[in-house]
Structure 1
Amino acid sequence: MKTDYLKALRDGEPLNFRDRIFLILKLSGPAMLAQISSIIMQYIDASMVGRLGANDSASIGLVSSSTWVVGGIMISLVEGFSVQIAHSIGAKDNKRARNLVKTGLIVNMLIAFLITIFLVSVSYALPIWLGGAEEIRRNATNYLFIYSLFTPVFMLNFLTCSMIQASGNMKVPSICDTIMFILDMIFNFFFIFPTATYKIFGFKLTIFGAGLGVSGAALGTGMSYVVVTIFLIIYLLFKSDILHLRKNERIHIKIDDLKKAFKISLPLAFERGITSGASVAVTRIIAPLGSVSVAANSFAVTAEALCYMPGYGVQSAATTIIGQSIGAKRTDQTKKLGLISIGTGMIIMAFTGILMFFFAPYMIGILTPDPEIRALGTTILRIESFAEPFFGASIVGSGVFRGAGDTLAPSLMCLFSLWCVRVPLSIILVKSYGLKGVWIAMATELTVRGIIFLIRFFRGKWENKLLNK
């Protein structure tokens, strides 16, 4: 019985179909829990703010697509180092992996501070550029400003999680994400709502609250990241079996490592940018429809994430597995592992899509008491549910390609899919169907994207994009 399938992969041991399944499930399980915990945290934010009213919800919804742009770019920059770490560990070059950890920390934190400066400078003007109604602009600006101050913490969190996962450890990031969502719930409660008296089990209890509203949601999330990120740094640098610091190993910033990092990261950043940029464009299309449509769109995006985040869990596992397989030069296993990973993602997301169709009213109902927003949110969620399996193919397929160092072609595929299908179709359909038309366009585009990702996988060209031949 092989208990450490990832080690068996690195050591060149044979892996049968059952072993490959267990390897993917073993790494995907904790990663999926981590992703689900992350979206539950967003769910908590949206639900708490939703109790404040449609305008407060719309203020966050207006700038949320922009924060996704920033978050996506930061995650992409992290991948340039974590993929190389996975390759190095697969090749049993652990010393290089540790040097990449130190290099990645320095480079990415410098970039994070530059991003912070940029976000602070545009926080006032962005809600105006996005066409937000005057009554929601101030809260949108406050939310974005506070978010921007925590940008270095977000970057550090993404970086440490990704590096720990690249070593094959999915449990620690998963546990940390679970703790973070609990902290987020506690911090948000205190920061969003004012001091109030609650009746609990027949007893009256007065609980202090800062009453910051929308600003409190950003502050609560940021503080939860701070607490958990401190632990992740300590674990990565002092506790990780493979990656912890050694006294006799000094940092050597190598130009080749930086070139490879940016060769991987820049197409990913481009992909994340065009994905989130398309979301910003769609937000601009939706904004004139009014606060109800903006809020319904924001809540539906949050609710849908419960269905597709398990796919991102499988994606994280696939990137680690394929990366270490390539580092170990296991050409006999790479494509087989990729196929099982994609199939697993599609099956999981087909199931979550079915759940989303039937439970859509309850998923939206948790987020807002407004009946008009609930009705519209339920309708658009059900439209989207049919595209989930193909969305899963593109999510996990991207992770497979990323593990192989193949990031440019998938980015161009996303560019085509989003800007040649989703955005133009949204512009056409919004005129006749409003927000429902935008989500029909989204479901169509996700299906197209999944199909072209599957075509690229089966054609096999991504296998030739190996960085460590």
Structure 2
Amino acid sequence: MKMREKSRENHSGSQALAGHRKALFLTILALAWPTLLEQMLQTLVQYIDAAMVGRIGAEATATVGMSTSVTWLVNGPLFAMGIGFMAFISREMGAEAFDNVKRASVQAVIVTVVTGIGVGVLTLAVSPILPTWMGVDPAIKKDASLYFAIICLPMLFRSAIIIFGALLRAVGDTKTPMYVNVCMNLVNIVLNYLFIYDTRMIKIGGASVKMFGFGYGAVGAGIGTAVSFVVGGIFMTIALYKNRYVSPAGCEIRPEREIMEPCIRVGFPVAMERMATCLGHVVFASLVTGLGTVAFAAHSIALTVEQAFYIPGYGMQAAAATLAGNAIGAKDQKRLHELTRMLIVIILVIMTVSGALLFFMAPQLLQLFTKESDVIALGTVVLRMVAVSEPLFGVLIILEGIFNGVGDTVKPFYYALFSMWCVRVLGTFFCVKVFHLGLYAVWGCMIANNVCLGSLFILRYLRGGWNPLNKEKSRK
């Protein structure tokens, strides 16, 4: 009789555990799918941009490609402050300190304006000399400079998109940023058709229709992108003011050191990490430009293709940061442990599948952007090289989100600094300038960077030093 009762207890316990895990999985899914779809749409637009520009030729692709790495650098401080506020707000939401959430939103408005204007002025100032720094072909310097200036002109709106979007995700609203990005993407696509190509005849069904176009080429793609940033910034601001948790409506907009300090304490190392790694990307890209226009076009298009296969990781990263912050705020060690393990298992499975798809579909994906056989041949090899490291990179992305969510940003900064500059940049310098190797060696250095950083992140996760609840327990 006692054995039967014990068996029933064990059975009910296992059912409760399974139910708990299912609920946690559904929570992750509910938060992740809008961000996942948002990332897919953003990547789709990048694909469309690259495909439209790629039809013009390798020079146009290189013109747009020059700004890619610099854009990561420019966006670094904006994303960093978004992460700082996300970590603070998600923790306060977990502790149900809703007044602090609203106060943090007010500080975010101040930071958005200051960083948006400051970064905008700086980028416009360097746009005339940036192509020279990047070592691009003299034939595309003028267009490359103009393209970069145009996309940086609405920096205040870009700041609102990034920081206000982070605030909304921190309180569990991942759908609104998705809707805003859908709108931005549609605007971008429509304007690209108008600004990139000349007036031409297109076929709709069986009829030929005259399609008006300005014929600005790569610069036209920049105009479409800039206008979409303005639209997205306006809509994201409206969404912020409508959200009941983070709306700053009716609040006095003034700095509060008590709130600003912890957000900056988390965000500043992330800003330094983003700037250091993105600056590394810029140096890295400038080294690749020395390999010639064809190699740089293959490099730029391959990066665009590869981004689609990071979508699952970055789609789940915001959910990882929000839920980890909530668990810390609620001081729920068990939930945090289960959450991190589940996220890692999910991303390993997904990224293994996506890596396999990237490996086998590389030539077909490259053909979407260019018809130049030399570019496709180069791109196919490097994409197949990087496909093998996709699962590890997925774990890296998730762990970065967890560390950001709990406010552990200092050590990851040192790791990123080391792997970028000592592995990727230094390795690429020796491969290109000393040993005169080609694009394959360059991507080998890039993969080595990801492997090094992923290994360091996993080691930190296993040691547990990232978890504030472990530190509180040791003090007791």
* TM-score, L = length of structure 2: 0.91
Q: After alignment, is 296-305 or 214-223 more displaced?
A: 214-223
* Superposition pairs of residues 320-331 of structure 1, within 5 angstroms: 320-331=322-333
Alpha-carbon distance between aligned partners in 1 of 2:348 and 2:159, rounded to the nearest angstrom: 29
In structure 1, the gaps of 5 or more residues are: 1-12
Alpha-carbon distance between aligned partners in 2 of 1:418 and 1:266, rounded to the nearest angstrom: 18
Of 240, 244, 250 in structure 2, the residue corresponding to residue 241 of structure 1 is 244
The alpha-carbon distance between structure 1 residues 467 and 59, as it changes in their structure 2 partners (threshold 3 A), is farther
Match of 2:454 in 1: 450
Alpha-carbon distance between aligned partners in 1 of 2:414 and 2:121, rounded to the nearest angstrom: 29
**C-alpha contact 2:103 2:259 (8 A) present in aligned 1:** no
**C-alpha contact 2:359 2:383 (8 A) present in aligned 1:** yes
Q: Can you list the C-alpha shifts for 1:72-93, whole angstroms capped at 9, x where unaligned?
A: 2211122222221111111111
Shift of 1:232: 2.0
Alpha-carbon distance between aligned partners in 2 of 1:129 and 1:365, rounded to the nearest angstrom: 30
Alpha-carbon distance between aligned partners in 1 of 2:337 and 2:345, rounded to the nearest angstrom: 12
Q: RMSD across aligned C-alpha pairs, in angstroms?
A: 2.0
**C-alpha contact 1:78 1:108 (8 A) present in aligned 2:** no
Shift of 1:282: 1.2
Of 440, 447, 456 in structure 1, the residue corresponding to residue 444 of structure 2 is 440
Of 104, 111, 132 in structure 2, the residue corresponding to residue 100 of structure 1 is 104
Shift of 1:432: 5.1
Alpha-carbon distance between aligned partners in 1 of 2:167 and 2:183, rounded to the nearest angstrom: 19
Match of 1:82 in 2: 86
Alpha-carbon distance between aligned partners in 1 of 2:20 and 2:37, rounded to the nearest angstrom: 26
1:195 counterpart = 2:199? yes
Shift of 1:465: 7.7
Of 236, 261, 264 in structure 2, the residue corresponding to residue 262 of structure 1 is 264
Shift of 1:229: 2.6
Q: Can you list the C-alpha shifts for 1:120-142, whole angstroms capped at 9, x where unaligned?
A: 11101111011111011111101
Q: After alignment, is 69-78 or 134-143 more displaced?
A: 69-78
1:117 counterpart = 2:121? yes
Match of 1:3 in 2: none
Alpha-carbon distance between aligned partners in 2 of 1:358 and 1:72, rounded to the nearest angstrom: 33
1:302 counterpart = 2:304? yes
Alpha-carbon distance between aligned partners in 2 of 1:252 and 1:337, rounded to the nearest angstrom: 36
The alpha-carbon distance between structure 1 residues 399 and 468, as it changes in their structure 2 partners (threshold 3 A), is farther
1:180 counterpart = 2:199? no
**C-alpha contact 1:404 1:466 (8 A) present in aligned 2:** no
Alpha-carbon distance between aligned partners in 2 of 1:284 and 1:112, rounded to the nearest angstrom: 26
Q: Secondary structure at the match of 1:279?
A: helix
Shift of 1:344: 2.0
Match of 1:60 in 2: 64
Letter in 2 for 1:266: F
Q: Can you list the C-alpha shifts for 1:343-389, whole angstroms capped at 9, x where unaligned?
A: 32232222111111111112111111211111111111111101111
Alpha-carbon distance between aligned partners in 2 of 1:465 and 1:122, rounded to the nearest angstrom: 44
Alpha-carbon distance between aligned partners in 2 of 1:150 and 1:231, rounded to the nearest angstrom: 14
Q: Secondary structure at the match of 1:52?
A: coil
Match of 2:294 in 1: 292
Alpha-carbon distance between aligned partners in 2 of 1:419 and 1:15, rounded to the nearest angstrom: 46
Alpha-carbon distance between aligned partners in 2 of 1:347 and 1:272, rounded to the nearest angstrom: 27
In structure 2, the gaps of 5 or more residues are: 1-16
Q: Can you list the C-alpha shifts for 1:253-278, whole angstroms capped at 9, x where unaligned?
A: 31121111211111101111122112
Shift of 1:60: 1.5
Alpha-carbon distance between aligned partners in 2 of 1:465 and 1:101, rounded to the nearest angstrom: 26
Alpha-carbon distance between aligned partners in 1 of 2:194 and 2:437, rounded to the nearest angstrom: 40
> Structure 1 vs Structure 2: percent identity of aligned residues?
33
* Superposition pairs of residues 248-397 of structure 1, within 5 angstroms: 249-251=251-253, 253-397=255-399
The alpha-carbon distance between structure 1 residues 63 and 207, as it changes in their structure 2 partners (threshold 3 A), is same
Match of 1:464 in 2: 468
Letter in 2 for 1:372: D
Shift of 1:468: 11
The alpha-carbon distance between structure 1 residues 466 and 257, as it changes in their structure 2 partners (threshold 3 A), is farther
Alpha-carbon distance between aligned partners in 1 of 2:286 and 2:278, rounded to the nearest angstrom: 12
Match of 1:16 in 2: 20
**C-alpha contact 2:313 2:347 (8 A) present in aligned 1:** yes
Q: Can you list the C-alpha shifts for 1:54-100, whole angstroms capped at 9, x where unaligned?
A: 11111121222111100122111222222211111111111221121
Structure number with greater Rg is 2
Q: Secondary structure at the match of 1:235?
A: helix
The alpha-carbon distance between structure 1 residues 468 and 95, as it changes in their structure 2 partners (threshold 3 A), is farther
Match of 2:30 in 1: 26
* TM-score, L = length of structure 1: 0.93
Q: After alignment, is 79-88 or 140-149 more displaced?
A: 79-88
**C-alpha contact 2:328 2:468 (8 A) present in aligned 1:** no
